[in-house]
Structure 1
Amino acid sequence: MKHAKTAFTILFLLLLGGFLFIWIQREIEFREELESRPLPDSLHPIVAEKSRELVEEAEEIGIDIVITDGFRSFEEQDALHQQGRTSGGNIVTYAEPGESYHNYGLAIDFALKLDDGSVVWDIERDGNGNGRSDWFEVAEIGKDLGFDWGGDWNRFKDYPHLEMTFGLSIRELQQGWRPEDTME
């Protein structure tokens, strides 16, 4: 009986070891495959479509907006991050290259467009005359379309910013995770 128990234990440990070896091997292969995924070079298709819808729905209520920024390369992110630090201008971002959803094609920035074609970032403007801030009306449309709005953030308010994270953190995106290209 003792030998049978020992044999069973050895067999169990061998099977467990084999299972763990296969699992670790697959995990390594999966991580390598993730890390080799290329970075996007444009807006995610769903973010691009929802951006168009945002512009159209804002226009329907008398608010003209322009998308001022979308996909941003790591180089563009670095230049923007240097603004107000090592180059002139005000600090406009705290995100370094690879730390912004813009770098993965998952974020846009917008501004209000005036009749003369100029662009303003006036969060109190009520150009459509309905007693509500145009900026906040656009943010609500964005949220209804599935965007998260930077104006809702606690630490730093980024009023022009809308993003779709698809449940992925910046760390996961840095590791190579990418959202699907289709709506569920």
Structure 2
Amino acid sequence: MLSALTGSTLLVIGAALLLLFLLPRLDQAFQTRTSHTKEVPMPTSLHPVVDDKKEELIQKTADKGITIVITDGFRSEEEQDRLYEQGRSKEGDVVTNVKGGGSYHNYGLAIDFALKKKNGEVIWDMKRDGNKNGKSDWMEVVDTAKSLGFDWGGDWASFKDYPHLQMDFDLSIRELKRGERPQVKALAEEK
């Protein structure tokens, strides 16, 4: 009887047996992956580590003769949606490419900064050398932020976001949307 079966028939039978064997495992793997979705509330402020590092950044740059202003920190999903509409359905320039829930600001893991001149004017001048040391104040802030563990939006391949600094704690937006959060205790021990 085996000799009467064609090669294509054997292939179909083999594929069916393989599916019968793999389906329970695939179902188990899918359930395991989706069971990690946690119902946790969205943050309402900067993460404590990000907040501490923000304060350290302000102090360290001040020690270099550079005054910075944090122009944005935690941002609610509603605020994010309003910013997303800017330059699209509302007046103004496009300032973000992500809707609410798609920004590290929404999880308290990002800040934006600007420089502050002695006269109080807030500027976004990346070439300014206000402390007269031959280096761009902006890049001195960026270098200091990186040394504190921040990632810089100016390093992104597309949609460069020069005022943006974030700490993602090795969590993607997808993971954050699923309810994963940086663990405060473990991060405090790393400091």
Q: Does 1:66 align with 2:69?
A: yes
For 2:69, what is the secondary structure of its paired residue?
strand
When normalised by structure 2's length, the TM-score is 0.80
1:84-95 maps to which residues of 2 (within 5 A)? 84-95=87-98
RMSD: 2.3
For 2:139, what is the secondary structure of its paired residue?
helix
Aligned residue for 2:157?
154
2-structure distance, mates of 1:88, 1:165 = 31
Q: Does 1:37 align with 2:37?
A: no
Aligned residue for 2:129?
126
Aligned residue for 1:166?
169
Q: 1:106 aligns with which of 105, 109, 112?
A: 109
Structure-2 change in CA distance of 1:28 and 1:62 (3 Å): closer
Q: Which deviations, in whole Å up to 9, do the C-alpha atoms of 1:29-78 show, x marking residues without a partner?
A: 943xx431111000000000000000000000000001000000000000
- Pairwise CA distance, 1:181: 1.1
For 1:68, what is the secondary structure of its paired residue?
strand
1:45-64 maps to which residues of 2 (within 5 A)? 45-64=48-67
Q: 2:181 aligns with which of 169, 178, 181?
A: 178
When normalised by structure 1's length, the TM-score is 0.83
How many residues were matched structurally?
165
Q: Percent identity?
A: 57
- Poorly superposed stretches of 4+, deviation over 2 Å: 26-31
- Pairwise CA distance, 1:117: 1.2
**Structure 1 alignment gaps of length 5 or more:** 1-19
- Pairwise CA distance, 1:27: 3.6
For 1:72, what is the secondary structure of its paired residue?
coil
Q: Does 1:140 align with 2:161?
A: no
AA at the equivalent of 1:171: R
